[in-house]
Structure 1
């Protein structure tokens, strides 16, 4: 997947994100409160809509290239009239939805009627998107799969930052992954992730170590280059992990680090910086070429020693990355042509290129040029 452009309007919060155009590498920069995290959250909200969630009073449009290289424009609008579902979550009717594939309107919902290739459809669930409801349809399946390719890393992303938790997986997943590598002996973990979107960052480490020694060794080399006191990463599998209701139904696994002096550091004792670095490297090195990786405030929890390698992996990635940052070192390390300077005027958030800096012949530090630029300060260029 490759996101070309998107916009979103939240009528409840009187918030509007104007059209933002993306390239392969995108760095959101701007003053605190400008809207960088809001942009990340808005993109994540669109993925949740694709996964069947309701988003009251929101309207959106997103243009992207799906995993089959088709040009997609998907837009929609939820009502502002809020209902409650069985769990007392706010929901609203999706009153408009349109899917355009390679310039042709394939699906449209409007005035209470939905058509697919000009054929009327019954009302399946008025609160959910048709991208979700029709995800098994041959024509729309690749759109749903593309939206599942988006990975977002925020400060509260459990898989990336909660070193004390034990990841749980279904009994079927290890069998499914094992069967794939048994059938496709020369495949990599990236090949698996190109077909299936069911592995989070920790699961990628677990299965890469089992089935893709070459890629895991490369991952370990990068990690131990950052943390030179680490010798190896060990993984312990638990069978039949007890859930809260006491039923033993699922599997889990636990990571630890072996240091050069033989000391074992259990997962819950791994520092937040070392743990997050490991998880980010997992997504950067093991994900599929169709991935879109969103990292909000990439520098959070990472030490100065971690940042250069993480940024280098982001810059050399095969897939699209959208990151936000305040950090001078990161901003200086990434060319201005990749910056999107975020600004806010009342409830309107926009992001634009800074031709003032891109075309500058100044020898001053790029970060200094940024914070002194008209667009960063909210002045007309």
Structure 2
């Protein structure tokens, strides 16, 4: 059962004139379309809003307008907002001449609950100058470049929303290609030896899963604390690559730098291979398996061009059509993947100038059989040329 689900999303970047018309998600959503239509941008926009909600934004997000609807624990939420460059905000508290001042600020932010009868209950409503909560009371002034979700994350009405955004996970394989961790930044997890299935074990595992950290780092921690889970990952990995006999993090000595943990696999007849010498397909499969075990069960997993670097033997390992507790939003060009996923999960992405349009396969009256639907799909201008 999925307890967290993205329902719909729209987004405008006024700086670049890039607009995403409302996109509606399923428990499994496959975004397909020609190169350059905006599939990757959709995932990046979702990730940037996650960072904005959590207060972790490091890049500029000037002049945005967005609306995102999601369900958490049976409650339907709507988060809306608009931001502008700080140079456009003539408001006390922003010093446009100060190079350390924020690059953007909220001009509007609103969080609401949508009840089953479609009535909306406002949890907070923010303008350039005011912030009003559901009890009608105004709140203290906060920094304009901070989302109220992050600032008031401990409030009972806001905490579920903050927790929901922490569960959005972008599987960024290339960012984690060289997996090396300085030994001094890794706490001494070896002292933690919880009994499997004990209360302490389950609490520690839940805590690790909830951390907004790279999946490789979670795998490193699990290798110290949750050896049973790492053994399950190794077993599944061995089913795909039967010549790989072991996986480990090796502590490498360095005379000139700090000692570091390096991810390695052991290949029969070859020996230990470090992540930077590992095949892309092997490493991507290992990290994706780890993600399935070490992210919260009700995560929202974003994967761009899932098939990159993977052979058929790897792709077949992941049955996205099965009854999983997480929501998957994928992009792909690969005929095998598109054919593997039922067409009612396809979302066909096209664009008109700077406007991105996403439609269901049913909107194009594609064939009833998956094979016929795919043949019609590749002949659609919306798919092959990126224009509707």
Fold match, TM over 0.5? yes
Give the Cα separation in 1 of the matches to 2:304 and 2:333. 10
Alignment of 1:95-110 (within 5 A): 95-102=107-114, 103-110=120-127
Number of residues of Structure 1 aligned to a counterpart in Structure 2: 368
> Which secondary structure state, in structure 2, belongs to the residue aligned with residue 332 of structure 1?
helix
Task: Identify the residue that residue 348 of structure 1 maps to in structure 2.
Answer: 355
Give the Cα separation in 1 of the matches to 2:65 and 2:364. 33
1:274 CA drift (Å): 1.2
Alignment of 1:145-156 (within 5 A): 145-154=163-172, 156=174
Task: Identify the residue that residue 224 of structure 1 maps to in structure 2.
Answer: 238
> Which secondary structure state, in structure 1, belongs to the residue aligned with residue 67 of structure 2?
strand
**Residue number among 258, 264, 275 corresponding to 2:266 in the alignment:** 258
Give the Cα separation in 1 of the matches to 2:342 and 2:365. 8
> Which secondary structure state, in structure 2, belongs to the residue aligned with residue 187 of structure 1?
helix
1:236 aligns with 2:250: yes
1:45 CA drift (Å): 1.3
> Which secondary structure state, in structure 2, belongs to the residue aligned with residue 144 of structure 1?
helix
Q: Cα distance 1:169–1:291, how it changes in 2: closer, same or farther (>3 A)? A: farther
TM-score (norm 2): 0.83
TM-score (norm 1): 0.84
**Residue number among 60, 67, 81 corresponding to 1:61 in the alignment:** 67
1:98 CA drift (Å): 0.2
* Aligned residues of 1:37 and 1:324 also touching (Cα < 8 A): yes
1:276 aligns with 2:293: no
> Which secondary structure state, in structure 2, belongs to the residue aligned with residue 42 of structure 1?
helix
> Which secondary structure state, in structure 2, belongs to the residue aligned with residue 72 of structure 1?
strand
Structure 1 runs not aligned, ≥5 long: none
1:295 aligns with 2:303: yes
* Aligned residues of 2:222 and 2:230 also touching (Cα < 8 A): yes
Give the Cα separation in 2 of the matches to 1:20 and 1:172. 42
* Aligned residues of 1:190 and 1:288 also touching (Cα < 8 A): no
1:191 aligns with 2:194: no
Q: CA RMSD in A?
A: 3.3
Q: Cα distance 1:352–1:231, how it changes in 2: closer, same or farther (>3 A)? A: same
Please say which of residues 7-16 and 120-129 is displaced more in the overlay. 120-129
Give the Cα separation in 1 of the matches to 2:100 and 2:17. 24
Task: Identify the residue that residue 154 of structure 2 maps to in structure 1.
Answer: 136
> Which secondary structure state, in structure 1, belongs to the residue aligned with residue 312 of structure 2?
coil
* Aligned residues of 2:102 and 2:145 also touching (Cα < 8 A): no
Task: Identify the residue that residue 103 of structure 2 maps to in structure 1.
Answer: 91
Give the Cα separation in 1 of the matches to 2:326 and 2:206. 14
Q: Cα distance 1:177–1:317, how it changes in 2: closer, same or farther (>3 A)? A: farther
